[in-house]
Structures are given as structure tokens and as C-alpha cells.
Amino acid sequence: MTTQTSGQATDRTFTVVNPATAQAVTEVHLASVAETDEAIERAAAAFPAWRDVAPGERARLLRRFAAVVDDHVEELADLEVANAGHTRANARWEAGNVRDCLNYYSATPERLFGRQIPVPGGVDLTFHEPLGVVGIIVPWNFPMPIAAWGFAPALAAGNTVVLKPAELTPLTAIRLGELALEAGLPEHVLTVVPGQGSVVGERFVTHPLVRKIAFTGSTAVGKRIMAGCAEQVKKVTLELGGKSANIVFADADVAAAATSAPYAVFDNAGQDCCARSRILVERRAYDEFLGRLEPAVAALKVLDPAEESSEMGPLVSSGQRDVVRGYLDDVEVAFTGTDPGGPGFWVPPSVVLTEDPSAPIWREEVFGPVVAVMPFDDEAHAVELANDSEYGLSGSIFTSDLGRGLRVARAVEAGNLSVNSHASVRYWTPFGGYKQSGLGRELGPDAPHAFTEEKNVFIAH
Ligand code: NAP
Ligand code: MG
């Protein structure tokens, strides 16, 4: 075992590094353009037979895949702890989320209904037909769930899938590809293609046999992918960055708001597109809120993620740690929690106070354990501050006035709001962003439609 400052790529291999220890874990082969083409062509060749699998049989295969994943939850969790530095509790939840997505969308094949629309002179029918090969490009922050949010509905709707994990975190995706085969999915129906974004990801975008890209990652890369897809009018969904607001009104249970706020931003060491990284507090409650926030941040268990009780682990790479430290170097940090130190990529949970809505720490996605707190004067001011962002992914509203909770939830320009809660992701409810946080929706009952074309057929009497 050698010590690495971060994952390192040569032309053909990538050294996966444990973020908690900076130790090398394993080497992963990086696919070339030629190997990517081969995977896409095999997926295209596998498509007609997969499309024609009887609905009940496709459903049964997806349920078997879910069952095999369930049998391997601990193994998958171990891989994610070692590869991404996720806490054990999170990693276990993430593997379980893959199983749950597969089970949920296993109900799709027999229920992918079209419509019969009244027309004169005949019968009009609609069909939801699969697209062919779908390319899924996944970031490193939630390698398992984000892959499954794409492949579960895509496969259920009858597509074949090529999946590119992030270079930093390929291990669970590779294992899921093996488990799919073990469960009996035909070869080349789900193909994992580890490699570089600029090689494998780009090829998904440019290859004409890939009919849709489901991309999750940074807004900068997402824009580039959308532009690339325009060349072939390729379908695309984008799940991008965020700078979500956690709005705390003075009439709220301020103690509950303050003690839950750290978990809403520091979970996964803040590497969460839904992180509530801006806290807005009504001025009357500001001092009380901060007084309760400080001990809550100090109490957060930032420990080796392999320990059962760990609530926050390291950042994914030395590069990401340096990005986050760069933000912290430019601001005054009001208070922090702890971190265990050592060779891993640690940054303690950090709280910054600001009254300047133009400050980079208030506007830019840090993607690390950093939260900015700002006071507001009234409801209109809170909504104005929350919406003064190019992002619009999620948000929370704490108030004891349910009318206000609903009013503000409707007024905030974001795809996923929670009132007196921070929960924003469930596999059976839609998820996605407003503005530059994304395009399209994932999860929920309609996700399979995003992997189909709607065909209209008229039959004359
Ligand atoms: P990223 O750099 O955009 O990478 C995301 C994925 O795209 C990776 O697999 C990457 O491959 C690949 N990629 C990079 N350049 C590409 C290109 N030119 N063509 C095709 N694919 C390319 O983002 P990240 O650094 O992994 O993740 C952090 C960012 O993602 C944050 O901004 C975060 O908010 C956002 N994010 C959003 C959501 C959401 O659901 N809205 C979820 C997670 C993350 P490599 O690994 O080889 O670079
Ligand atoms: Mg990147």
C-alpha cells in the first residue's frame, strides 16, 4: 500500500484511494474510446431482445436484481466506505436505495400504459416505447443511488444502459454490474464503463447509438453535455448543483431547527447537491438560533467513516479538500466542529456568518462542510434572498404557521421543498432542479416516461 495525495490516472488505469486514510485501495482500468464504442454497440445489439422481454418477465428480472443487491448490502456499503469515505450508516442506506429503486420500478413494465384518445373515423392509441441505449453519467458524491435513479427506470422501460461512474468512485458501480448478471439480466443490458469524463462520458454524448444522456454532476459540465446533445437532438436530463436555503422563521421550533440544521448541510461532508448550505434566520430568532447551532455543530461525530457511530467522514479527494479550504481561507469562520485529523482528506464542519448576498460563500456551491448563515427581516425578504441564486434544487422552511410554510414553499424557486423537515429525496417522489440546478425530473412515478418516446397511432375504421 502506498500513500497517495489523491487518485491518480495514467492513460489506462486509475488508483482508487481511501479518502479517510489516503491509502491506495485498488487499480481500475479506464476504458478507451474504442472500448466505449464496443460497449455501446453491444448494448445496442442487446436492445431488441430486452425490449421484447415480456413485461412480467422483465419485472421479475428487476425484482431478482433487487434481491441480489439486498443480499450484498453490507459488501456494497464496505466498498463505498473505502472508496468514497461515506459513513457506514449512509453507505448502507445508499445500497438499500438501489434495491428500493429496482423494486419500485419493477412495477413499471406491466404498467407502462398508453392512452386511447377519442378521434373521428377510427381509433387513436399511444405507446411509450423505449429509446434504445441510454447513457448514464454519474458523479462521485452518491455513486450508488444516482446510478440507480437512472438505470432502474431506464431498464424497466425497456432500454439498455451504459453507465459511466465517476473516476474517483467506480467500485460500487462495477460491483452492481456484476450483480445484475448474477441476477440473470442478459449480457450487455447494463454495462458499466469506468473511465474519464473526457473520454467515456464525451463518447456517450457523441455516439449516435446513445439516444439519451442522464447526467448528474456540475453545472459547468452539464451545460457542455447539453450543448453536445444538441448536435444530434439527443434527449438529456440534467441533475446539477445547488445552493439550497434553509429558512428559519422566529415562530418555528427554533431548537429543532438549529439541531437539525447541521445534518441538512454536513451530511456526506456537505458533498450533496441538496445541502442546505445557506441558512436564513429571522432576525428576532438569530441569536437564539446561533446559540443552539454552535453546540449542535460541535457535537457532530466527525469520525473515521468505518466506525458505526460516525456522522460525517472526510472529503472524497485531496483536490476537493483543497477547493473547500480555498473557500475557507477567504472568509472569517465563526465556529467549527471537530475532525479526527491524520492523513485523510478532512475538513471540520464550518459555519460562516454573513450579511452580504454577493459574497462567494453565499452564492457559490462549495460542495464541502461549510454553511453560511444570514439574518432576514420578514417573509418577503426571506423569499427574495432564497431566490437570489442561479440554482434552485431544494430547500427547507421551519415555521409553526402551516399557511406560511406552504406559501413560502410555493414561492421558493426550487424543485424540492420541505416544511419542518429536511427530507427531499424519496425514490417514489419526483426530484430535480429549477433554473441552473437541472433539466427534467428523476424518480417518482413518471421517471420511466423520461426514458421513452410517446408514439401516437391512428387506425381508420
Ligand atoms: P462533474 O465534474 O461534473 O462530473 C460528473 C460526471 O461527469 C463524472 O462522471 C465525470 O467524469 C463526468 N464528466 C466530466 N467531464 C465530462 C465531459 N466533458 N463529458 C462527459 N462527462 C464528463 O461533477 P463532480 O465533480 O463529479 O460532482 C460535483 C458536482 O456535481 C457538484 O457541483 C454537485 O452539485 C453536482 N451534483 C449534482 C447532483 C444533483 O442531483 N443535482 C448530484 C450530485 C452532484 P470524471 O469523474 O472522469 O470527471
Ligand atoms: Mg469533475
Per DSSP, the residues of 315-383 read -S-HHHHHHHHHHHHTS-EEEE-----SSS-----EEEE---TTSHHHHS---SSEEEEEEESSHHHHH
Cβ of 241 less than 6 Å from ligand 1: yes
Q: Which ligand is nearest to the CA of 273?
A: 1
Cβ of 94 less than 6 Å from ligand 1: no
Contact 118, 124 (CB under 8 A): yes
Cα separation, 28 vs 14, in Å, equals: 5
Ligand 1 atom with the smallest distance to the CA of 240 is 41
> Which residue's alpha carbon is nearest to atom 46 within ligand 1?
166
| Residue 241 cell numbers, joined | 448543483
How far, CA to CA in Å, does 249 sit from each of 295, 375, 409? 20, 10, 13
Quick one: pLDDT at residue 10? 57
How far, CA to CA in Å, does 226 sit from each of 202, 204, 233, 413? 11, 12, 9, 22
Beta strands at 116-117 and 122-130: parallel, antiparallel or unpaired: antiparallel
Give the angle 411-413-419 at the CA atoms, nearest 5°.
Answer: 60
Which member of 239, 282, 311, 442 is catalytic?
Answer: 239
| Residue 435 cell numbers, joined | 433554473
pTM of the model: 0.96
> Which residue's alpha carbon is nearest to atom 48 within ligand 1?
197
Beta strands at 394-398 and 416-419: parallel, antiparallel or unpaired: parallel
Output the CA 407–ligand 1 centroid distance in Å: 33
Cα separation, 102 vs 73, in Å, equals: 14
| Residue 191 cell numbers, joined | 454495462
Ramachandran region of residue 225, left (φ > 0), alpha (ψ -120 to 50) or beta? alpha
| Residue 239 annotated among the catalytic residues of the structure | yes
R_g (Cα) of the chain, nearest Å:
23
| Residue 23 cell numbers, joined | 491509502
**Smallest Cα–Cα separation from 73: which of 58, 88, 87, 92?**
92
Cβ of 435 less than 6 Å from ligand 1: no
How far, CA to CA in Å, does 114 sit from each of 24, 58, 109, 151, 165? 51, 18, 12, 22, 33
Cβ of 262 less than 6 Å from ligand 1: no
Q: Look up the CATH number of domain 31-240+437-460.
A: 3.40.605.10
Kindly indicate whether the domain formed by 245-426 is annotated with CATH number 3.40.309.10. Answer: yes
Q: Name the burial class of residue 220, with classes exposed (0-12), middle (13-18) and buried (19+) by CB atoms within 10 angstroms of its CB.
A: exposed
Mutate which of 141, 322, 390, 416 for ligand 1? The one with the most ligand atoms within 8 Å of its CB, which is: 141
Which of the 8 DSSP states describes residue 412? Answer: S
Cα separation, 340 vs 344, in Å, equals: 9
> Which residue's alpha carbon is nearest to atom 36 within ligand 1?
217
Quick one: pLDDT at residue 9? 56
Cα separation, 216 vs 150, in Å, equals: 10
Return the half-sphere exposure (C-beta side, CA atoms, 13 A cut-off) of residue 434: 19
Check for a shared fold between 31-240+437-460 and 245-426: no
Cβ of 224 less than 6 Å from ligand 1: yes
Output the CA 220–ligand 2 centroid distance in Å: 9
User: Phi and psi dihedrals of 47, rounded to 5?
Assistant: -65, -50
Q: Name the burial class of residue 308, with classes exposed (0-12), middle (13-18) and buried (19+) by CB atoms within 10 angstroms of its CB.
A: exposed
> Which residue's alpha carbon is nearest to atom 22 within ligand 1?
197
Please state the domain extents for the chain: 31-240+437-460, 245-426
10-residue averages of pLDDT along the chain (461 residues) = 45 94 98 98 98 98 99 98 98 98 98 98 98 98 98 99 98 98 98 98 98 98 98 98 98 98 98 98 98 98 97 98 98 98 97 98 98 98 98 98 98 98 96 98 98 98 94
Cβ of 217 less than 6 Å from ligand 1: yes
> Which residue's alpha carbon is nearest to atom 31 within ligand 1?
218
Output the CA 240–ligand 1 centroid distance in Å: 8
Q: Which ligand is nearest to the CA of 138?
A: 1
Q: Which ligand is nearest to the CA of 242?
A: 1
Contact 391, 433 (CB under 8 A): yes
Contact 315, 271 (CB under 8 A): yes
> Which residue's alpha carbon is nearest to atom 16 within ligand 1?
197
* Distance, C-alpha 353 to centroid of its chain: 28
Cα separation, 105 vs 449, in Å, equals: 12
**Smallest Cα–Cα separation from 450: which of 179, 239, 272, 242?**
239
Exposure letters 411-445 (e unless 16+ CB within 10 A, then b): bbbbbbbbbbebebbebeeebbbbbbbbeebbbbe
Cβ of 194 less than 6 Å from ligand 1: no
